[in-house]
Structure 1
């Protein structure tokens, strides 16, 4: 079980918008359980290198996206002080059994309407 990051009690309240709730220095320190609609960034003294959250599909799988612009593919992450989390480009998760394709914009999930509706 990961240790090092303490999640304040109020972060477990039912937030509607997705948001970043904290940062850890390595991916091993990401808590095993995260509040609903919450993400954690991995940053070791510099800009974030990763962002991690539980997929909004509810199947229980964890998403880990590279945010280091020096490596590809890379996602950009923004969260204004009074706004929700945005991630670009879209998140397109495949695991051989399912496909979860969505956008995270201003703290909301927008499911992609793909040309083919295929759940792998």
Structure 2
């Protein structure tokens, strides 16, 4: 179910920031947590980050972090394990969500 943007913004302000879970693998697991992101890291190299679409549709999002792949994203993690992604995430099909993830919070476009 796709929630209205005003509700998503309201909910985002109430809930705690998303955290990052790091696993030793070259791909994220199929089962993902409800809010947090999973980073697949193998031999100190970040491969991909996966999480559920924050709109509520439940779609699995897997973003590649290696520079040789197009498109790719970069991730930074602050001292409280809150992730920031760059650039924004824009789904052109399905729910068509478009958002930034900054310090574990979704900022809707």
Aligned positions of 1:64-103 closer than 5 A: 64-82=62-80, 84-95=82-93, 97-103=94-100
TM-score, reference length from structure 2: 0.77
Tell me which of the two structures has the higher relative contact order, counting C-alpha pairs closer than 8 angstroms and 6 or more residues apart. 2
Q: CA deviation at 1:76?
A: 0.6
Q: Which residue of 2 aligns with 1:21?
A: 21
RMSD: 1.8
TM-score (ref. length: structure 1): 0.70
Identify unmatched segments of 5+ residues in structure 1: 1-14, 113-120
- Structure 1 consecutive aligned stretches of length 4 or more whose deviation exceeds 4 Å: none
User: Bigger radius of gyration, 1 or 2?
Assistant: 1
User: Structure 2: any 5+ residue segments left out of the alignment?
Assistant: 1-14
